[in-house]
Amino acid sequence: MRENVKSFASEFFVTGDPLIYGADVSIGLTLIAVVAGMTYFKKWNWLWREWLTTVDHKKIGIMYILSAFLMLFRGGVDALLMRTQLAMPELSFLEPDHYNQIFTTHGVIMILFMAMPFMFGLFNVMVPLQIGARDVAFPFLNSLSFWLFFAGAMLFNLSFVIGGSPDAGWLAYPPYSELMYNPGVGQDFYIWGIQISGIGSLMTGINFIVTILKMRAPGMRLMKMPMFPWSVLSSCIAIIFSFPILTATLALLFLDRYAGAHFFTLDGGGNPMMYINLIWMWGHPEVYIIVLPAFGIFSEIVSTFSKKKLFGYKSMVYAMMIISVLSFLVWAHHFFTMGSGADVNAFFALTTMLIAIPTGVKVFNWLFTMFRGKITFETPMLWTIGFIPCFVTGGLTGVLLSVAPADFQFHNSYFLIAHFHHVIIGGVVFGYFAGLYYWWPKLFGFKLNERIGKWAFWFWNIGFYLCFMPQYALGLMGMTRRVVSYSWDKGWWEMNLVSTIGAALMGIAFLFQVWQIAHGVKHSAANRDTTGDPWNGRTLEWSIPSPAPYYNFAVLPNVSSQDEWWEEKQRMEQGGAAAQSQLYTGKLEPIHMPKNSAIPILMSACCFVAGFGFVFHWQWFIIAGISGLAICMLKHSFNHDTDYYIPVEEIRSSEASKGRWTV
């Protein structure tokens, strides 16, 4: 019996690597500290009531953003481990198998479990406020979307200590991901972690399309909507068409592994190229899914800190929608070297060049907005200005990669790694940082320390260029992706060392951001936003108190222009003491709100259990998880006590305490 238990434990838990043992200890100590702290301060009931069962879109957004920061830490540690291994020739800091696992998990975590939740967090906290809505269209579905994402992320990350991480690359190309060449459970963790999370992402896309189309404030026609909701709409349209492709593709791969199907195995009559086509039919739109909302954020920030109306509003809208469509017509440029033929390569080269045009339109619009503007350089604007040269570099190198003959030289090299990170970090991550700094006072009611924020900004930017600019040269010198070691005679070590130093500087920048948040919380009373409009903003979210009330708007606004809050301030200033608001003209009435629900977190827990069962082929886990999921759905179907009304007196008291409502 003892030997059986010992044998099971040695196969079930990841062993043999000191780095993983260290991670196990740190995870265990962190969990003990959290449980002990929650118990000591008697916060379990508060956690359950206020957060775990909430359907408030703002709290769900905060949980998304917190999860994204945790995943940024995990993915960043993976990056530092890889760069340490490559800092000098012939190092053995990481074993080859461990290195394969790390670059696989780094890519998956950063794209699907960091960028996506960061994006969804900003969707949640700001879209309803910007369009004058009190909530999203489907609050219950919104909560379920978050918890499905979280369950998928936790299932994927569990592979680090149980079973073993996936190691077939972040897109899991066959035959590396097939059972013959990858018999462990790591690839099954990959499949089910992404599947569960991806279903939540699809739900979010549907939810925000309906929210934007059906819940805008009176008078807010689509062409009067702020730019951020437009970017969200274009991103969500791409989500609902691309994520079903990912779901189907991973389902086929799982059938190959679990049921002996041969969709992607040549020996069984399948074709691995079919997988590569399918995964990039999702994968390239995914790049634009995560970058389009960043474009919307930059548009809001440039207009606010230039104190000017956004230049070329309609052209920005059309550019985003065109990008959303064209993103589905460029996927084959990821495998120009795989024998598709000259005609196919020419078509996809052309579409790739075409998509650069609407992308360039936006850059010029931002520059013209800043032209002759009264620019101030607070932290959100710094991130925006830092983004422009970085993203332009990534875009120009992307155009180089779109030239099929040139791609035969660049393909699979570190040139591609540098390009991809220029676009994702310079475009996506910088954009989400800018948005978080910009909307932080609206979320939490206080501003973050500008001095610490600027230190973080400069460390991020200097570290970024030190890390990735040498990689363009390394790619041209012949260094390929996924190299775990290299010899002294290659002549690569100097640039690899500089690249590793740059990665370390970005790690220090992240620590500055953690310090900035901790400092902000400690000194929140001194930095309290009492105006609700600390940046002199232009859109509706700045017309309500900070932090935003749980019902968002005491009275729904009446919108007549694109920058309605800016126009309202101008009217009030010109009208003097006798001026009357044209934005809020209605009477206080009871507000209809959704009740909290425990069902979303329970459903996600059931999905986690079922996914874990599929990973290890434990039928009783699968049955338990699916049965629990069915029971939760049945329970919710017969639950009619899902909403309530906030009485007028409670609204008046809440508003009066902030000096905002006197009717």
pLDDT at site 20:
82
599 in Cβ contact with 574 (< 8 Å):
no
**Where would I find the H helices in 523-618?**
564-575, 599-616
pLDDT at site 542:
95
For residue 192, pLDDT over 80 is answered with yes
pLDDT at site 656:
84
Banded pLDDT at 4 (limits 50, 70, 90): confident
Q: How many CB atoms lie within 10 A of CB 214?
A: 9
List, for residues 482-505, the tens digit of each pLDDT value.
999 999 999 999 999 999 999 999
Q: Which residues share a beta bridge with 643?
A: 594
SS (H, E, C) 374-415: CCCCCHHHHHHHHHHHHHHHHHHHHHHHHCHHHHHHHCCEHH
pLDDT at site 340:
84
For residue 258, pLDDT over 70 is answered with yes
Output 49 or 5, whichever has higher pLDDT: 49
CATH superfamily of 53-597+642-656: Cytochrome c oxidase-like, subunit I domain (1.20.210.10)
pLDDT at site 581:
80
pLDDT at site 125:
96
Banded pLDDT at 663 (limits 50, 70, 90): very low
For residue 576, pLDDT over 80 is answered with no
Banded pLDDT at 660 (limits 50, 70, 90): low
What's the whole-number mean pLDDT along residues 458-476?
97
pLDDT at site 433:
97
Distance, in Å, from the CA atom of 548 to the CA atom of 443, rounded to the nearest integer, reads 7
For residue 282, pLDDT over 70 is answered with yes
For residue 136, pLDDT over 70 is answered with yes
Output 2 or 49, whichever has higher pLDDT: 49
Percent of the chain residues topping a pLDDT of 90: 84
SS3 of residue 592 by DSSP = strand
What's the whole-number mean pLDDT along residues 615-639?
95
Banded pLDDT at 577 (limits 50, 70, 90): low
pLDDT at site 329:
94
What's the whole-number mean pLDDT along residues 620-628?
96
pLDDT at site 450:
95
What's the whole-number mean pLDDT along residues 372-383?
94
| Residue 634: φ, ψ to 5° | -65, -45
What's the whole-number mean pLDDT along residues 48-72?
97
pLDDT at site 16:
75
How much is the mean pLDDT over the chain?
A: 93
Banded pLDDT at 661 (limits 50, 70, 90): low
Lowest mean pLDDT among 29-38, 150-159, 575-584, 648-657: 575-584
Banded pLDDT at 510 (limits 50, 70, 90): very high
List, for residues 302-320, the tens digit of each pLDDT value.
999 999 999 999 999 999 9
What's the whole-number mean pLDDT along residues 127-137?
96
Q: What distances in angstroms separate CA 590 from CA 355, 419, 587, 641, 645, one per listed residue? A: 48, 53, 10, 18, 6
Domain boundaries, the chain: 53-597+642-656
